[in-house]
Amino acid sequence: MDINDTICAVCTGVGGALGVIRLSGPDALGVGLKVWRGRGLDEPRRMVLGRIAATGEPALAVYMKGPASYTGDDVVELQIHGGGAAARRTLQACVESGARPAGPGEFTFRAFANGRMDLTQAEAVADVVAAESDRGLELAARQLSGALGARIGAMRGELTDVLGELESKLDFSEEQLDWAAPDELRRRVEAVIASIKELSGTYEAGRRCREGVALVLAGRPNVGKSSLMNALVGRDRSIVTPEAGTTRDVVEERAVLRNLPVRLIDTAGIRTAGSLAEAMGVDRARAALRGADVVFWVLDAGSPDMSDCAELSGVGCPVAAVWNKCDLPHGELPELPYETVEISAEKHTGLNVLLDCFEHAVWHGAPPAVPEAAVNERHLALLETASGLLNESLDEISDERCELAASLVRPAIDALGGVTGETAGIDVLDNIFSRFCIGK
Ligand SMILES: Nc1nc2c(ncn2[C@@H]2O[C@H](COP(=O)(O)OP(=O)(O)O)[C@@H](O)[C@H]2O)c(=O)[nH]1
Ligand SMILES: [Mg+2]
């Protein structure tokens, strides 16, 4: 990506009441002054009212002089009425005045390239945009403020120090300088390994905050799985009928339950199917069970039939047994080896207790505080590489094989640098920024 020209994009969504067009680059002010008519734009950080030259529409404009801007370049932002045609017209005027349409994530890429943020912060920008729940947002905000980058930076600093000691032993091995004892160096590397392990342990909590969990509703036909799905998402998402075998495919819907993003997955009732389509639906239901983070096994309190509970034997995640239709008269309910909740999906009773149960299952107890920092999959892989190398280096350090030890510590430092971006290759950067939206 070229970072020396002037780029432009509509930063807001189509259909919004306002449109924001951002310009970034050496000629941002020049282009801005061609597109926008008014006075005072050249004074940084002051919002001024004028008009878009092409349309005569009123528009607010602000100039942020680099490096004190989001991207580190000179930036101009125009705020206009409407996110549709009006925004497109203004963008076109920017292009006609010499700016280039920005690619996905290009503003944030510039912020990274100009040293305004590290790679974990750039990733956090995407996380903030994508956050569906308060939990996800809180974690992203912490990462955006640099909490994760700071921890990685501290580890790298410590290892760079250790590497310095190892290398000076190599260079001056004949001289009697004041060396750190091998035991002390080993202890310091062990402490970094422990910090890496602790940070790697935040992955699962981070995944739950960012991506959420898969909650699968399964059970025999007609027990009320789809009714429960609809009750949980608050609208008629799945078709409900008195006929068995209504839901034949998996029906998926995103929701936020107890402050956690959830992929709610309604499945076909598990039974010996009457048709090919239903049989495929049952296969998909079984696949969904295998990929679940939590399963609600729904049962009909009016006609307790536990014949298919064996389906749950291979499920590796927490399961709750949900007795539905408890609004109807029913006898004593049989015991099940799962946490059990009694509800009526139709009358919306018992749902709070069900959500308590869900929350408990997700967190294996009370929900923990949002972690200070939590790694994603990319970070985790790099941390594992680093800790593998450091573990190997321990004996070399103890036995004072400094050259070998240094050759292991050095790539470990690089692996950590990959997390914050210092040593990330262009393909890694491309991969990260291409997932951003245009305008970010
Ligand atoms: N009385 C009562 N009927 C329910 C309840 N939940 C679902 N039903 C009825 O049970 C039938 C099957 O419901 P559905 O949600 O399609 O079940 P599914 O096959 O498990 O998805 C429909 O006629 C629903 O109206 C409930 O809580 N109480
Ligand atoms: Mg159904």
Instruction: Quote the pLDDT of residue 173.
Output: 64
For residue 17, the domain's CATH number is 3.30.1360.120
> Is residue 386 a part of any domain in this protein?
yes
Instruction: Quote the pLDDT of residue 247.
Output: 85
- The answer on 357 and 246 residing in a single domain is yes
Pick from 240, 243, 248 the residue to mutate for probing ligand 1's pocket: most ligand atoms within 8 Å of its CB: 240
Question: 60, 88, 116: which is the final residue of a domain?
Answer: 116
Backbone angles phi, psi at 240, to 5 degrees: -115, 125
- Ligand 1 nearest-atom number relative to CA 328: 1
Instruction: Quote the pLDDT of residue 309.
Output: 85
Query: Region 258-273: what's the mean pLDDT?
Result: 90
Backbone angles phi, psi at 328, to 5 degrees: -85, 155
- The predicted-structure confidence for 249-264, as pLDDT tens digits, reads as follows 899 999 999 989 999 9
Pick from 222, 246, 264, 271 the residue to mutate for probing ligand 1's pocket: most ligand atoms within 8 Å of its CB: 222
| pLDDT(169) > 90 | no
- The answer on 258 and 346 residing in a single domain is yes
For residue 290, the domain's CATH number is 3.40.50.300
Residue 409 to residue 156: CA distance in whole angstroms: 10
Q: How many CB atoms lie within 10 A of CB 127?
A: 21
Q: Which residues line ligand 1 (CB under 6 A)?
A: 221-227, 240-242, 246-247, 269, 324-325, 327-328, 344-346
Residue 120 to residue 138: CA distance in whole angstroms: 15
Question: 363, 394, 417: which is the final residue of a domain?
Answer: 363
- The predicted-structure confidence for 91-147, as pLDDT tens digits, reads as follows 999 999 999 999 999 999 999 999 999 999 999 999 999 999 999 999 999 999 999
> Is residue 284 a part of any domain in this protein?
yes
Ligand nearest to the CA of 221: 1
Instruction: Quote the pLDDT of residue 230.
Output: 96
Q: Which two tokens stand for residue 141?
A: 């905000």
Query: Region 154-166: what's the mean pLDDT?
Result: 96
Cα 274 to averaged position of ligand 2 atoms, centre (Å): 15
Task: For residue 278, name the pLDDT band (cuts at 50, 70, 90).
Answer: confident
Residue 347 to residue 230: CA distance in whole angstroms: 12
Determine which residue's CA is closest to atom 23 belonging to ligand 1. 242
- The answer on 278 and 238 residing in a single domain is yes
> Is residue 369 a part of any domain in this protein?
no
Cα 227 to averaged position of ligand 1 atoms, centre (Å): 6
Backbone angles phi, psi at 249, to 5 degrees: -120, 175
Q: What range defines the domain where residue 247 resides?
A: 214-363
Residue 21 to residue 83: CA distance in whole angstroms: 10
Q: How many CB atoms lie within 10 A of CB 329?
A: 7
Pick from 227, 241, 299 the residue to mutate for probing ligand 1's pocket: most ligand atoms within 8 Å of its CB: 227
Q: How many CB atoms lie within 10 A of CB 119?
A: 25
Element (H, E) at 305: none
| pLDDT(327) > 80 | yes
212: left (phi over 0), alpha (psi -120 to 50) or beta: left
| pLDDT(39) > 80 | yes
Helix (H, G, I), strand (E, B) or coil at 11: coil
Instruction: Quote the pLDDT of residue 88.
Output: 93
- The answer on 336 and 243 residing in a single domain is yes
- The answer on 85 and 40 residing in a single domain is yes
Q: What is the pTM of this model?
A: 0.85
Residue type, 42: D
Percent of the chain, pLDDT > 90?
77
- The answer on 311 and 230 residing in a single domain is yes
Task: For residue 229, name the pLDDT band (cuts at 50, 70, 90).
Answer: very high
Name the average pLDDT for the chain: 93
| pLDDT(176) > 80 | no
- The answer on 270 and 349 residing in a single domain is yes
| pLDDT(175) > 70 | no
Question: 55, 88, 116: which is the final residue of a domain?
Answer: 116
